[in-house]
């Protein structure tokens, strides 16, 4: 059986945050029903479309879910969600702050109907504190949470990270909270409210940067480029090669000693470089020595030599290289699926369990594709009742 077999999830999410959390739950075997407004998820309107016209971002985050069209601003739409929640295990939402409460669909209201219900709320800044209730997106959280000020080089402007890591790291925190609440429910019989704020989820990733700042009495640069965030490890950088770049780091003195043997450069005999503290103090000189060696070699050859010496390293790959990487293909995280309509690419699952198979994702549904099916199967509505809801534009 799958890990979450029999678990019913209502996804009242949009963009990346809640939808990635529920996508992971779907891959683990949960039955996920995605609620979309009459206008559809905003990511249905992005221009980066796949072969059948579906935006790739939407497909990646929503394949494997049943999709229904439902107007939560409408009283009948709100009643339908209440009825669905009454027979579900989890509701996951990241609507604008306070929206679910304004609709009469907050945790207190829904748990009164279903005490076993777990509601998971993804917010920008949480439900308390001076910024509570402020809207937030990945970029604005990166700005507010010092991610941008610590990304880039010391003499350059602040830069956002390439990947939208804020939404995804927060979504995995939200999943952890939901799974913990499901486990506790097996003992108590009661659900609870799980809350994850984007800002809270990101701050722990700044551990090295904060440590460097505190240890230097606030004198360390915030932006350290490709060097260690706290400037506490050297070498630790991206170095030029004949055909690109390679990352190399020596987290211990023994790693440095093995690297010195490989480089065979007399400059490494300097006593200033023997211990980590000295290498960090003279980080520019250390980087110059390593870069002088790497720039004469190809990145893949260097990678093999460094791996053989058990020195942490990796070639800097570009996106086309990543998608063609045999390891990425073998792991199935970028997943190609063939169905009756042809082939499509979506996400697999990074969460693998030895005794619980990953569910093969289905193609992301069209806007409202499963509305009638869900209302019949879950709520027992008749075709006539469903048609009436269509006429009132509730669904």
| Residue spans in the chain of domains classed CATH 3.40.50.10540 | 8-203+326-391
pLDDT digits over 251-271, tens only? Answer: 999 999 999 999 999 999 999
Residues annotated as catalytic are: 167
Confidence category of residue 342, pLDDT binned at 50, 70, 90 = confident
Range(s) of the chain covered by CATH 3.30.1540.10: 233-316
**Chain segment 349-390, per-residue pLDDT in tens:** 999 999 999 888 888 889 999 999 999 999 999 999 999 999
Residue 99 has which token pair? Answer: 């929206």
Q: Which two tokens stand for residue 365?
A: 């549904």
Q: Could you tell me the pTM of the whole model? A: 0.91
- Per-residue pLDDT, 338: 87
Whether the CB-CB separation of 265 and 289 falls below 8 Å is answered with yes
CATH topology for 8-203+326-391 is: Rossmann fold (3.40.50)
SS (H, E, C) 119-160: EEEEECCCCCCCCCCCCCCHHHHHHHCCCHHHCCCCCCCCCC
Average pLDDT, the chain: 94
Of 44, 55, 24, 19, nearest to 348 (Cα)?
A: 24
- Quick: pLDDT tens for 222-254: 899 999 999 999 999 999 999 999 999 999 999
CATH 3.30.1540.10 matches 233-316: yes
């Amino acid at each position: 059986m799958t890990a979450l077999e029999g678990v019913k999830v209502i996804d009242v999410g949009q963009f990346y945050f809640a939808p990635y959390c529920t996508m992971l739950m779907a891959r683990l075997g949960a039955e996920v029903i995605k609620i979309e407004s009459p206008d559809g998820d905003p990511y249905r309107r992005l221009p980066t479309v796949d072969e059948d016209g579906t935006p790739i971002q939407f497909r990646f985050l929503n394949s494997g879910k049943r999709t229904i069209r439902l107007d939560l601003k409408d009283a009948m739409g709100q009643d339908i969600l209440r009825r669905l929640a009454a027979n579900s295990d989890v509701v996951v939402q990241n609507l604008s702050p306070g929206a679910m409460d304004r609709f009469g669909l907050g945790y207190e209201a829904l748990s009164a109907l279903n005490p076993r219900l777990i509601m998971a709320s993804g917010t920008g800044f949480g439900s308390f504190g001076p910024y509570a209730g402020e809207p937030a997106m990945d970029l604005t959280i990166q700005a507010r949470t010092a991610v941008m000020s610590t990304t880039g080089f010391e003499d350059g402007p602040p830069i956002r990270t390439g990947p939208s890591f804020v939404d995804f790291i927060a979504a995995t925190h939200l999943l952890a909270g939901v799974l913990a609440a499901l486990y506790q429910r097996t003992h108590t019989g009661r659900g609870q409210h799980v809350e994850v704020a984007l800002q809270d989820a990101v701050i722990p990733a700044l551990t090295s940067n904060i440590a460097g700042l505190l240890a230097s009495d606030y004198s360390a640069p915030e932006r350290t480029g490709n060097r260690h965030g706290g400037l506490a490890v050297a070498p630790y950088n991206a170095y030029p090669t004949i055909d690109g770049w390679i990352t190399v780091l020596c987290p211990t003195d023994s790693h440095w000693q093995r690297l010195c043997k490989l480089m065979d450069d007399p400059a490494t005999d300097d006593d200033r470089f023997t211990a980590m503290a000295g290498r960090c103090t003279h980080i520019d000189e250390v980087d110059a020595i390593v870069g002088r060696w790497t720039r004469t070699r190809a990145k893949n050859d260097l990678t093999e030599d460094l791996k053989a010496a058990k020195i942490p390293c990796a070639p800097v790959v570009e996106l086309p290289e990543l998608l063609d990487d045999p390891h990425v293909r073998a792991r199935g995280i970028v997943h190609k699926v063939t169905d009756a309509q042809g082939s499509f690419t979506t996400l697999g699952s990074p969460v693998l369990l030895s005794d619980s198979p990953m569910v093969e994702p289905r193609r992301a549904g069209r806007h409202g594709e499963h509305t009638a099916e869900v209302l019949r199967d879950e709520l027992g509505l008749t075709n006539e009742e469903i048609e009436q809801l269509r006429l009132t534009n509730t669904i």
